[in-house]
């Protein structure tokens, strides 16, 4: 247990039989225990700690149903390649297969969601298994791990001297790419006519910001962040071509991938979203990832921070830079300008209810530069991402690779804990669709209980994707038999979500106009004593602006 104090800072969970004593013992050791309202949200919070700090956050759950509720969080962490340690209480060993209280094959159940899932064979073996789980979660490609603690272990006495005391693992060893591959990559980059760097959340996790920024600036290369790659190099950097994303992907002839998989988010690296002969240079810590969906021109297996330094050193050997006045840069800049103008025009619309762009432009105007931005929802997340800027790495958390809805409040709570402990005064802005908010809405009580510096924005269109306004709702209700169907996408119009916040002592605002939005945001930012929730009513049928590719409307980007 002693090593835990040093290596585990936060445990998120819900107590009950048989883990209550574990939470109390952890608190006695000085570990921060944050009691949540649902294991799913607790597990999301713990996984965000892993991404933000590079050490696994712990989620502590009870047996059976508690463990099952946490599976969503585990799957999300594992799909995102984030470290996580789930500790589950389980039924007593001598009652196994007898129909014990909350009995479930937990180790087996977790195998599908983890890199490692095990039960210590004895109480003396616990430190050994925990060390292995922590190490496995952060070494190689990060991921989730599970350790099962049977109820009859919890109150067992053990002689400390009988435990072969295990120090927790060292930081992950740093691996570098083959020199010949680095040389080849540099040569492909130098010969590129239309180069593009793609910065993924793997680069953020690897703390590669300094080296990647140097690559961008020294060689004048255009870059495109993925959703959580935003902020590794600031969004307002002149070389960021986020506003010309489709164009950049479609016409690049050389693409360097820094910790971004060629999955659905990047349209699998295939035509028509890319040139058929585009040369991919893949940088990743996971060898099995290299070559997925495309045949890469060069693969650089290693830690992104180390490999980007190798690339810098190699490129430094000649006096090369990508010509800033190239036709490629001109094409990208023109496209960025026209896309930005289209968004601005939508944002300037005075009609009420507001559209997404109007809302996000007003939010962006007041957003503190160092805040965490947490976001989820369909249009809320997709449009919000194009307007809300990130200036710092690892300061955006969203539905991620798994596109999980319900992560927002858990993520916000984790970010707020980190902010509180590491840079007091820093705020967390959590931008939720009304549907997304519903998944974990009761965590507002957690936010108020710990008085966390979170401002929740619920962008409310009365539904999933789209909803009805009050009049249409009433009109259609008139004809509806009380037992007949409610349209699946509809939520109750004009729901006062802000009252969930006031119920627990936070500040709540219901806003319908840009002026009300500006004012409530100003007040929320000025008030550092309380969390707040701003319920922002928007046009229920609002959507995003027209896209070049029609299938973009349902994708993440």
Interface residue list for ligand ADP (CB under 6 A)? 80-81, 141, 200-202, 205-206, 226, 228-229, 259-261, 263, 265, 284-286, 289, 303-304, 401
| Shortest spacing between CB 225 and ligand ADP, in angstroms | 8
Instruction: Decide: 95 and 64 in contact? Cβ < 8 Å.
Output: no
d(C-alpha 269, C-alpha 289), whole Å: 13
Please report which residue ranges of 227-272 form alpha helices under DSSP H.
245-251
Which CB atom, from 11 or from 215, has the smaller least distance to ligand ADP?
Answer: 215
Please report which residue ranges of 367-511 form alpha helices under DSSP H.
379-387, 408-422, 434-439, 443-449, 470-479, 498-503
Which CB atom, from 13 or from 259, has the smaller least distance to ligand ADP?
Answer: 259
Q: Does 435 bind Mg ion (CB under 5 A)?
A: yes
Residue 171's SS3 state is coil
Which CB atom, from 254 or from 407, has the smaller least distance to Mg ion?
Answer: 407
Find which of Mg ion, ligand ADP, none residue 502 binds, CB within 5 to 8 Å per kind.
Answer: none
Find which of ligand ADP, Mg ion, none residue 435 binds, CB within 5 to 8 Å per kind.
Answer: Mg ion
| Shortest spacing between CB 481 and ligand ADP, in angstroms | 45
| Shortest spacing between CB 132 and ligand ADP, in angstroms | 20
Find which of ligand ADP, Mg ion, none residue 260 binds, CB within 5 to 8 Å per kind.
Answer: ligand ADP
Find which of ligand ADP, Mg ion, none residue 492 binds, CB within 5 to 8 Å per kind.
Answer: none
| Shortest spacing between CB 472 and Mg ion, in angstroms | 15
Find which of ligand ADP, Mg ion, none residue 243 binds, CB within 5 to 8 Å per kind.
Answer: none
d(C-alpha 337, C-alpha 355), whole Å: 21
Distance spanning both ends of the chain, measured CA to CA: 44
Q: Is 94 exposed, middle or buried (0-12, 13-18, 19+ CB in 10 A)?
A: exposed
Phi-psi label, residue 51: left if phi above 0, alpha if psi -120 to 50, beta otherwise: alpha
Find which of Mg ion, ligand ADP, none residue 289 binds, CB within 5 to 8 Å per kind.
Answer: ligand ADP
Which CB atom, from 220 or from 273, has the smaller least distance to ligand ADP?
Answer: 273
| Shortest spacing between CB 12 and ligand ADP, in angstroms | 22
Binders of Mg ion among residues 494 to 523 (CB under 5 A) are: none
Q: Are strands 466-467 and 463-464 parallel, antiparallel or unpaired?
A: antiparallel
Find which of Mg ion, ligand ADP, none residue 434 binds, CB within 5 to 8 Å per kind.
Answer: Mg ion
Find which of ligand ADP, Mg ion, none residue 226 binds, CB within 5 to 8 Å per kind.
Answer: ligand ADP
Alpha-carbon radius of gyration of the chain: 25
d(C-alpha 311, C-alpha 213), whole Å: 12
| Shortest spacing between CB 357 and Mg ion, in angstroms | 16
Which CB atom, from 53 or from 466, has the smaller least distance to Mg ion?
Answer: 466
Q: Does 434 bind Mg ion (CB under 5 A)?
A: yes
Find which of Mg ion, ligand ADP, none residue 228 binds, CB within 5 to 8 Å per kind.
Answer: ligand ADP
Find which of ligand ADP, Mg ion, none residue 188 binds, CB within 5 to 8 Å per kind.
Answer: none
DSSP for 377-409, written as a single string: SSHHHHHHHHHS---STT-EEESTTTT-TT-HH
Which CB atom, from 304 or from 501, has the smaller least distance to ligand ADP?
Answer: 304
Contacts 24+ apart (CB under 8 A), 490-493: 490/462, 490/463, 491/434, 491/435, 491/438, 491/462, 491/463, 491/464, 491/467, 492/462, 493/462, 493/467, 493/468, 493/469, 493/540
Backbone phi, psi, residue 547, to 5°: -110, 155
Which CB atom, from 46 or from 212, has the smaller least distance to ligand ADP?
Answer: 212
Find which of ligand ADP, Mg ion, none residue 200 binds, CB within 5 to 8 Å per kind.
Answer: ligand ADP
| Shortest spacing between CB 436 and Mg ion, in angstroms | 8
Which CB atom, from 39 or from 284, has the smaller least distance to ligand ADP?
Answer: 284
Which CB atom, from 347 or from 538, has the smaller least distance to Mg ion?
Answer: 538
Which CB atom, from 206 or from 240, has the smaller least distance to ligand ADP?
Answer: 206
Q: Are strands 84-90 and 116-118 parallel, antiparallel or unpaired?
A: unpaired
| Shortest spacing between CB 400 and ligand ADP, in angstroms | 7
Angle 286-305-212 from CA coordinates, rounded to 5°: 115
All residues at 6 or more sequence positions from 20 whose CB lies less than 8 Å from its CB, including other chains: none
How many Cα atoms are found within 13 Å in the side-chain-facing hemisphere of 398? 29
| Shortest spacing between CB 75 and Mg ion, in angstroms | 24
Binders of Mg ion among residues 449 to 468 (CB under 5 A) are: 461
User: C-alpha distances in angstroms, 30 versus 8, 421, 444?
Assistant: 10, 14, 25
Angle 84-51-299 from CA coordinates, rounded to 5°: 100
Distance of CA 519 to the CA centre of its chain: 29
Q: Are strands 84-90 and 428-433 parallel, antiparallel or unpaired?
A: unpaired
| Shortest spacing between CB 505 and Mg ion, in angstroms | 26
Instruction: Decide: 74 and 114 in contact? Cβ < 8 Å.
Output: yes
Which CB atom, from 389 or from 461, has the smaller least distance to ligand ADP?
Answer: 389
Find which of Mg ion, ligand ADP, none residue 209 binds, CB within 5 to 8 Å per kind.
Answer: none
Look at the alpha carbons of 402, 233, 56, 425 in this order and tell me if their dihedral is positive or negative. Answer: negative
| Shortest spacing between CB 249 and ligand ADP, in angstroms | 12
| Shortest spacing between CB 126 and ligand ADP, in angstroms | 28
| Shortest spacing between CB 544 and ligand ADP, in angstroms | 20
Binding-residue pattern over the window 169 to 198 for Mg ion, x denoting contact by CB under 5 A? ------------------------------
Find which of ligand ADP, Mg ion, none residue 100 binds, CB within 5 to 8 Å per kind.
Answer: none
* Binding-site ranges for Mg ion (CB under 5 A): 433-435, 461
């Amino acid at each position: 247990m002693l090593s835990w104090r040093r290596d585990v800072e936060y445990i998120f969970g819900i107590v009950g039989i048989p883990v209550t004593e574990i939470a109390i013992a952890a608190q006695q050791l000085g570990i921060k225990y944050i009691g949540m309202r649902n294991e799913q949200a607790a597990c999301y919070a713990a996984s965000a700690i892993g991404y933000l700090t590079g050490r696994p956050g712990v989620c502590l759950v009870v047996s059976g149903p508690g463990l099952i509720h946490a599976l969503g969080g585990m799957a999300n962490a594992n799909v995102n390649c984030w470290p996580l340690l789930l500790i589950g209480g389980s039924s007593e060993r001598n009652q196994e297969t007898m129909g014990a209280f909350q009995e479930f094959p937990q180790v087996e159940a977790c195998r599908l969601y983890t890199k490692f899932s095990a039960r210590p064979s004895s109480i003396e073996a616990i430190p050994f298994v925990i060390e292995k789980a922590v190490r496995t979660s952060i070494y190689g490609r990060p991921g989730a791990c599970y350790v099962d603690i049977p109820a009859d272990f919890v109150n067992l006495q053990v002689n400390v001297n009988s435990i072969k005391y295990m120090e927790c693992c060292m930081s992950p060893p740093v691996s570098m790419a083959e020199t010949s591959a680095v040389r080849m990559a540099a040569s492909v980059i130098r010969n590129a006519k239309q180069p593009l760097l793609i910065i993924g959340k793997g680069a953020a996790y690897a703390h590669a910001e300094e080296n990647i920024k140097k690559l961008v600036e020294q060689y004048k290369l255009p870059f495109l962040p993925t959703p959580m790659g935003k902020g590794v190099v600031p969004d307002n950097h002149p070389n960021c071509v986020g506003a010309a994303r489709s164009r950049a992907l479609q016409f690049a002839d050389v693409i360097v991938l820094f910790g971004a998989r060629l999955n659905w988010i990047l349209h699998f690296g295939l035509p028509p979203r890319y040139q058929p002969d585009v040369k991919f240079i893949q940088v990743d810590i996971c060898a099995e990832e290299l070559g997925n969906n495309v045949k890469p021109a060069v693969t650089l297996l290693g830690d992104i921070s180390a490999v980007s330094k190798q690339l810098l050193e190699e490129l430094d050997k000649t006096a090369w830079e990508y010509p800033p006045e190239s036709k490629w840069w001109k094409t990208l800049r023109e496209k960025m300008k026209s896309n930005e103008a289209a968004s601005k025009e939508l944002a300037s619309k005075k009609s009420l209810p507001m559209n997404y762009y109007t809302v996000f432009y007003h939010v962006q105007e007041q957003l503190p530069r160092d805040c965490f931005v947490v976001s989820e929802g369909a249009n809320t997340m997709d449009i919000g991402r194009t307007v809300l800027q990130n200036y710092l790495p690892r300061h955006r958390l969203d539905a991620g690779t798994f596109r999980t809805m319900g992560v927002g409040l858990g993520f916000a709570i984790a970010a707020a804990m980190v902010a509180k402990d590491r840079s007091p005064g820093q705020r967390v802005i959590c931008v939720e669709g009304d549907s997304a908010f519903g998944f974990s809405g009761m965590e507002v009580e957690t936010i108020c209980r710990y008085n966390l510096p979170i401002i929740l924005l619920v962008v409310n269109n009365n539904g999933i994707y789209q909803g009805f306004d009050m009049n249409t709702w009433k009109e259609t209700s008139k004809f509806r038999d009380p037992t007949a169907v409610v349209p699946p996408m509809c939520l109750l119009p004009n729901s006062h979500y802000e009252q969930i916040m006031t119920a627990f002592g936070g500040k709540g605002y219901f806003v319908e106009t840009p002026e009300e939005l500006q004012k409530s945001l100003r007040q929320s930012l000025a008030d550092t004593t309380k969390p707040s929730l701003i319920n922002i009513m928007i046009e229920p049928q609002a959507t995003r602006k027209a896209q070049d590719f029609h299938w973009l409307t349902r994708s993440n980007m």
